[in-house]
Amino acid sequence: MTQLQSTQSFRIGHGYDSHRFVSDRKLILGGVEIPYEKGMLAHSDGDVVIHAICDALLGAAALGDIGQHFPDTAKEYKAIDSRILLRHVAQLIRDVHYQINNVDATILADQPKLKNFIAAMRSNIAADLKLSVEQVSIKATTNEGMGFIGRGEGIAVQAVTLISKIE
């Protein structure tokens, strides 16, 4: 049996992240501080939006996952701004000769309401990835009161991305 050579010029990646709410932490989503009485429990700043996008990008390029690149046991990542991680991941993508075509993320959160912060999230992520805002989609939806999200215990994010080989 012969092994097929990878001649793919387009690759899709999927990312997922979730964190639980805790008191005495800022809530950072998409690089935006959201006024809320709780934040995310995490080693970094807990930005689940950026973490899911990082995993989608790394997956598309078959470069592992966010925990492999930025382990939560490493002191240098303690309370780090996740936008720094996103910029690093974008550089990894460029280093293997891919460009990012678009990013699409869905935030699952019953609380807080996020519609007034979506534009700023898109702008931050576009800037960090060196994309136009039109290449970045961020949506928010609720879980209709179901599960850990519906009970207000945390937030989850799913993200997909398309990258293409730079010839």
For 55-83, the pLDDT digits (tens) are 999 999 999 999 999 988 888 888 899 99
> DSSP secondary structure string, the chain?
-PPPP---SEEEEEEEEEEEEEESS-EEETTEEE--SEEE--SS---HHHHHHHHHHHHHTT---HHHHS-TT-GGGTT--HHHHHHHHHHHHHHTTEEEEEEEEEEE-SSS--GGGHHHHHHHHHHHHT--GGGEEEEEE--TT-HHHHTTSEEEEEEEEEEEE--
Domains of the chain (ranges; CATH) run 11-165 (3.30.1330.50)
- pLDDT, residue 1, reads 45
The per-residue pLDDT for range 23-63, each reduced to its tens digit, is 999 999 999 999 999 999 999 999 999 999 999 999 999 99
